[in-house]
């Protein structure tokens, strides 16, 4: 699937909050060149709906329930490698941006950005460009050449997600519910996280997250 050179930018919005999806539709309805043609509330629905839509861009929420957005992005890029994806997040770039860009996203934008910035990002990504901040560009360039990584950078994508949630003060039960995983599975991830980062307990993990501005 290729980006349309002429006509409207057709967007599929993937977000598990109906009110936010409606807000995006209202925002884009004020433009003449951007249109929301479909919606999905989770990763599986997105992967199913995108097959039948003539979408030119996907707006992907970073924290949908069920299948992780990162796994969804990776699968989407396998099935439709040319389809641009702009990630929307409540988290700062320090949290997940590098991982999503490496996985194939064309841009990363905070949900609190103004409508004008959102439209600018959509138009740039839909035209085949990348939308990241100058700070993220520098971090990406450094990350690809630097071998002296910090402990949290050795975590798998799922482990890093669980790490950030524990660092934010969520219990294993709360994390399991949000990610649709068993408490036992979350506990296993926690064990691996502590081992890889050479930490002893949640208190040290939370302290590490705070000191490194990851929460």
Mean pLDDT computed over every residue of the chain: 87
What are 168-206's pLDDT values in tens digits? 889 999 999 988 899 999 999 999 999 999 999 998 898
**pLDDT at residue 141, rounded to an integer:** 66
Q: Residue 207: name the closest of 90, 162, 199 by CA.
A: 199
Per the CB < 8 A criterion, the answer to whether 85 and 4 are in contact is no
Domains present along the chain, CATH in parentheses: 9-144 (3.40.50.2300), 151-211 (1.10.10.10)
Which two tokens mark 100? 């999503």
Cα distances from 40 to residues 13, 101, 109, 137, 213, in angstroms, run 6, 21, 19, 30, 31
**pLDDT at residue 143, rounded to an integer:** 60
**pLDDT at residue 184, rounded to an integer:** 95
Give this prediction's pTM.
0.68
Instruction: Identify the segments of the chain with pLDDT beneath 70.
Output: 1-6, 94, 134, 138-148
Helix residue ranges per DSSP H, the chain: 18-29, 43-49, 69-79, 93-102, 115-126, 134-145, 157-167, 172-179, 183-197, 202-211
């Amino acid at each position: 699937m290729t980006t349309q050179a002429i006509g409207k930018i057709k967007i599929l919005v993937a977000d598990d909050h109906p009110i936010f999806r409606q807000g995006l539709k209202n925002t884009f309805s004020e433009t003449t060149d951007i249109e929301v043609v479909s919606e999905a509330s989770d990763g599986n629905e997105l992967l199913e709906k995108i097959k039948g839509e003539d979408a030119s861009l996907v707006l992907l929420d970073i924290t949908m329930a069920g299948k992780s957005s990162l796994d969804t992005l990776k699968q989407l890029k396998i099935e439709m490698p040319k389809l641009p994806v702009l990630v929307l997040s409540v988290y700062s770039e320090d949290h997940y941006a590098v991982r999503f860009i490496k996985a194939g996203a064309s841009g990363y934008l905070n949900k609190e950005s103004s409508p004008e910035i959102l439209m600018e990002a959509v138009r740039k990504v839909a035209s085949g460009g990348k939308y990241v901040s100058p700070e993220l560009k520098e971090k990406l360039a450094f990350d690809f050449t630097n071998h002296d990584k910090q402990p949290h950078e050795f975590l798998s994508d799922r482990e890093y997600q669980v790490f950030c949630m524990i660092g934010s003060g969520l219990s294993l039960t709360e994390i399991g519910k949000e990610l649709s995983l068993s408490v036992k599975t979350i506990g296993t991830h926690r064990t691996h996280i502590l081992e890889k980062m050479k930490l002893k307990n949640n208190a040290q993990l939370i302290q590490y997250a705070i000191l490194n501005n990851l929460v």
